[in-house]
């Protein structure tokens, strides 16, 4: 068996590129998630409190190095706090523009990670 030698000057490393790995839309009525339209990367989502939604991945993430973009159309603030990222799920927080926990009629989610 021989030894393979690699010329380091010929090795090209491609930088990681941010890509969408998942997306979903939650329809919310009276504080309950009535509709959950998602691709296969997300398994489910449900309300855990006013303005708090727990979203589960279909397959656990390898690490916490992902970003959740969440929006409703402008009437609410929608975000994921730093401590609310987990490898199997994340928590979306929504408030009215005054910062009071509130439930929008729907929220859209796009999850990105460098691949």
**In terms of C-beta density within 10 A (0-12 exposed, 13-18 middle, 19 or more buried), how is residue 36 classed?**
middle
pTM (two decimals): 0.85
pLDDT number for residue 115:
87
pLDDT value of position 12: 81
Q: Structure tokens of 113?
A: 């990670």
Q: Are 54 and 45 in contact (CB under 8 A)?
A: yes
Largest CA distance in the chain: 70
Positions of the chain with pLDDT under 70:
1
């Amino acid at each position: 068996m021989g030894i393979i030698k690699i010329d380091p000057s010929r090795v090209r490393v491609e930088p990681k590129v941010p890509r969408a790995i998942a997306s979903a839309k939650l329809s919310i009525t009276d504080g309950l998630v009535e509709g959950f339209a998602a691709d296969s990367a997300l398994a489910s989502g449900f309300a855990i409190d006013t303005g708090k939604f727990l979203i589960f991945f279909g397959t656990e993430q390898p690490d916490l190095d992902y970003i959740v973009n969440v929006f409703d159309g402008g009437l609410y603030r929608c975000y994921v706090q730093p401590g609310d990222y987990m490898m199997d799920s994340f928590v979306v927080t929504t408030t009215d523009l005054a910062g009071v926990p509130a439930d929008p009629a729907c929220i859209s989610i796009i999850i990105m990670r460098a691949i």
